[in-house]
Amino acid sequence: MSPETTKSWKVLSRLANTETDREDVPRRIEAAGLLADLTKQRLTEPVLEGLLALASERGLRDAIEAQFSGEPINRTEGRAALHTALRAPVDERPESAAEAEAVMTRVLDLADDVRRGTWRGATGKSITDVVHIGIGGSHLGPELAVEALTRPWHLGPRIHFVANIDGTSLSRALAGLDPNRTLFVVVSKSFSTLETRVNAGSSRAWFLERTGDASAIARHFVAVSTNLEAAAAFGIPPSNVYPMWDWVGGRFSVWSPVGLPLALAIGRDRFLEFLAGGHAMDSHFRRTPFAANLPVLMALTGIWNYNFLGVTNQAILPYAERLRLLPDFLQQLIMESNGKSVCHDGTPLNVHSMPIVWGGTGTNGQHAFHQLLHQGTRSFAADFIIVANGEPPASHHRWLNANALAQSQAMLMGQEDADPHKRVAGGKPTTTLVLPDLQPSSLGALIALYEHMVFCQGIIWDINSFDQWGVELGKRLAVPIFEQLGGKPALGQDASTRGLIEYLTRDDS
């Protein structure tokens, strides 16, 4: 049921319309080692009260328990969403997730073997390069985590990521690789995703052209998938297939065998620290009263911004080069989860769900798009993500954080000026998240924080955050167009698409 009919929604609407003399609430929360400063958000005590009442009215407490206990909360697909079980101690996992432990042990054993050089290629050589093939949830989390956490002294294999079907993605990854020292990791929950199938097929062809030995596939290709038959049909032996489960959504799967490249890059112990960081956030989320519960408060703050203050886009601004891929990862996590317009019962959602999420690293963004943030006409909210103990040299890091704080201050305070061109309005709602350092546990906690935030907002809006039916249409339409770009008559197409097909297939193109 759409939320605008609830009592608390009406109270909040009144507050949004009557808000005059705002007394902002200083609000700083610590959770799982992270600090969140919500002081620059436009929250007042009555607003917070209203938001917390909304959370109760929407049954958030029961919904959280339903998620953790493995109820099929992804109702359109009849599935649980149990990614939290993958990072929980074994005795705290629901029965339905019990099989995960043995599989994760195999994943971590493989990572150890490759890192130690005991996993040998078909010609007896150790592995120096891993090519990870996957897209969406089977790519974004692993690449973010590998880029954020790999340090030169970890001594693991080099990890290359291939996602896009554009051949450049694969050819760049393969350039200069020795097939005898390369391990391909094909990751696809469904094993039917076009990009991954095509990239995996071309990788196999590249490998066979150079080695001429089909039996060598068994030492150079492994797969992660729920679709064991399709992986076998591709030619990957069952012993090299690491199963996934339908109770882990793609965009929530970095904690599962999908995280294999991270384990390969940083090793077993640090991978387990990553899981522990996620679990620490889970414990906070599950046990802390809502008034001090970070994922809940971040979710409610978002609801206030998007549904009552008219905020139409959410910027993600990591001030850490190693978190360069965080905006891409969060785009999928948030927009694929909560870019919906229908409630659970199929009735329309009558209020806005998630706005556009985008972002980029500071300080680079300051010299690109921040101008619009300071003086443009569009409304936005921003999350600054900073690291207390960051990369040396110390003076660089101090400048980095000084700039992050200066930007959020400018967005809050603005500036008066007699010259209207120099006036900065201020009053922009921002949150600053502080990681103690950029380590596996803090990244784990950060990712889990956003996962739970997404979940809570889905509950408030009464949408299914765990399906993604909207992406199917384009996939289907691409099939006949592929044939028509290959020379078949462009029948059944709209005029624009037919014109483009004809242009791309004209004789002189």
Determine, following the binding rule CB under 6 A, whether residue 190 of this chain makes contact with ligand F6P.
Answer: yes
Count residues binding ligand F6P (CB under 6 A): 14
* Amino acid of residue 163: A
Alpha-carbon distance of 338 to 71, in angstroms, equals 20
Nearer to ligand F6P (CB atom), residue 47 or residue 333 = 333
Min CB(138)–ligand F6P separation in Å: 4
Q: What are phi and psi of 369, to 5 degrees?
A: -105, -5
Q: Which of 73, 468, 484, 501 binds ligand F6P (CB under 6 A)?
A: 468
Contact, 87 vs 254, CB < 8 A?
A: no
Min CB(46)–ligand F6P separation in Å: 39
Nearer to ligand F6P (CB atom), residue 43 or residue 135 = 135
| Beta strands in 250-307, from DSSP E residues, in sequence order | none
Min CB(95)–ligand F6P separation in Å: 25
Determine, following the binding rule CB under 6 A, whether residue 339 of this chain makes contact with ligand F6P.
Answer: no
Nearer to ligand F6P (CB atom), residue 471 or residue 504 = 471
Give SS3 for 105: helix
Only one residue has tokens 């290959």, namely 486
Q: What count of other Cβ atoms lies within 10 Å of the Cβ of residue 196?
A: 26
Q: Which of 156, 250, 339, 359 binds ligand F6P (CB under 6 A)?
A: 250
Determine, following the binding rule CB under 6 A, whether residue 188 of this chain makes contact with ligand F6P.
Answer: yes
Determine, following the binding rule CB under 6 A, whether residue 372 of this chain makes contact with ligand F6P.
Answer: no
Determine, following the binding rule CB under 6 A, whether residue 251 of this chain makes contact with ligand F6P.
Answer: yes
Contact, 297 vs 29, CB < 8 A?
A: yes
Determine, following the binding rule CB under 6 A, whether residue 74 of this chain makes contact with ligand F6P.
Answer: no
User: Residue 498: is it exposed, middle or buried by C-beta count within 10 angstroms (0-12/13-18/19+)?
Assistant: middle
Residues in the chain: 509
Residue of 362, 365, 437, 357 whose CA lies nearest to 404: 362
Determine, following the binding rule CB under 6 A, whether residue 115 of this chain makes contact with ligand F6P.
Answer: no
Catalytic residue numbers read 336, 367, 475
Min CB(370)–ligand F6P separation in Å: 31
- Interaction with ligand F6P in 137-156: which residues (CB under 6 A)? 137-138
**Segment (H or E) for 155:** none
Region binding ligand F6P by CB under 6 A among candidate stretches 34-42, 115-123, 186-194, 211-219: 186-194
Nearer to ligand F6P (CB atom), residue 273 or residue 336 = 336
Nearer to ligand F6P (CB atom), residue 83 or residue 284 = 83
Min CB(471)–ligand F6P separation in Å: 4
Determine, following the binding rule CB under 6 A, whether residue 340 of this chain makes contact with ligand F6P.
Answer: no
Determine, following the binding rule CB under 6 A, whether residue 196 of this chain makes contact with ligand F6P.
Answer: yes
| Beta strands in 347-455, from DSSP E residues, in sequence order | 356-359, 381-389, 430-437
100 Cβ contact partners less than 8 Å away, ≥ 6 residues apart: 85, 86, 93, 245, 256
29 Cβ contact partners less than 8 Å away, ≥ 6 residues apart: 35, 36, 38, 292, 293, 294, 297
Q: Which of 136, 156, 295, 327 binds ligand F6P (CB under 6 A)?
A: 136
Only one residue has tokens 């079980």, namely 85
Q: Phi-psi bin for 278: left (phi > 0), alpha (psi -120 to 50), beta?
A: alpha
- Sign of the Cα torsion 336, 338, 339, 341 reads positive
Determine, following the binding rule CB under 6 A, whether residue 279 of this chain makes contact with ligand F6P.
Answer: no
Determine, following the binding rule CB under 6 A, whether residue 135 of this chain makes contact with ligand F6P.
Answer: yes
User: Using CB under 6 A as the criterion, which residues of the chain lie in contact with ligand F6P when the complex forms?
Assistant: 135-138, 188-190, 193, 196, 250-251, 336, 468, 471
